[in-house]
């Protein structure tokens, strides 16, 4: 029998001010502890020269629930010599099917950001 693929969570950060990948941007993944308002940190990573990092959830690690990706955008812009309106960006999403691959891209500039499910 064919085993179903387990979920993976990936992200990609692009600097829309330059049109280039956002390199060396710190990212943290946390899961909401239900019921409640406490978050449990699961992973920490940093983007590479392509604006990507390794999978934040390994195969079999995903569980149904609410998750948060925190992107340290303020520190990223500061390293480039810019100020930023957003000190960080938090993208909160729900995993309902832990067997499904999830890709959460983030497009940033010093004064805006956007995200979508890729």
Q: Which residue has the higher pLDDT, 66 or 54?
A: 66
Confidence of residue 7 (pLDDT cuts 50, 70, 90): low
Domain membership of residue 3 (yes or no) is: no
What is residue 58's predicted lDDT score, i.e. its pLDDT? 80
Residue 35: the pLDDT is 83
- Say whether 52 counts as a known binding-site residue: yes
- Report whether the peptide linkage leading into residue 35 is cis, meaning its omega lies within 30 degrees of zero: yes
Q: Is residue 1 part of a domain?
A: no
Residue 17 in any domain: the answer is yes
Say if 88 falls within a structural domain.
yes
Residue 12, annotated as binding a ligand: yes
Which CATH number covers residue 52?
2.60.40.180
The pTM (predicted TM-score) of the whole model is 0.90
Q: Is 2 a domain residue? A: no
- Domain span at 44: 9-115
CB neighbours of 20 closer than 8 A, spacing ≥ 6? 14, 51
Token representation of residue 35: 């019921």
Q: Tell me the pLDDT tens digit for each residue of 57-84.
A: 887 888 899 999 999 999 999 999 999 9
Query: How many domains in the chain?
Result: 1
């Amino acid at each position: 029998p064919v085993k179903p693929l387990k979920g993976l969570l990936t992200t990609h950060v692009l600097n829309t001010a330059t049109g280039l990948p956002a390199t060396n941007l710190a990212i943290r993944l946390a899961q909401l502890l239900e019921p409640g308002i406490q978050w449990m940190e699961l992973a920490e990573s940093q983007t590479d020269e392509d604006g990507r990092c390794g999978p934040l959830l390994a195969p079999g690690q995903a569980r149904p629930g609410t998750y948060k990706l925190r992107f340290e955008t303020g520190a990223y812009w500061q390293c480039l010599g810019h100020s930023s309106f957003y000190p960080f960006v938090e993208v909160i999403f729900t995993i309902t099917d832990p067997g499904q691959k999830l890709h959460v891209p983030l497009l940033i500039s010093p004064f805006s950001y956007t995200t979508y499910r890729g």
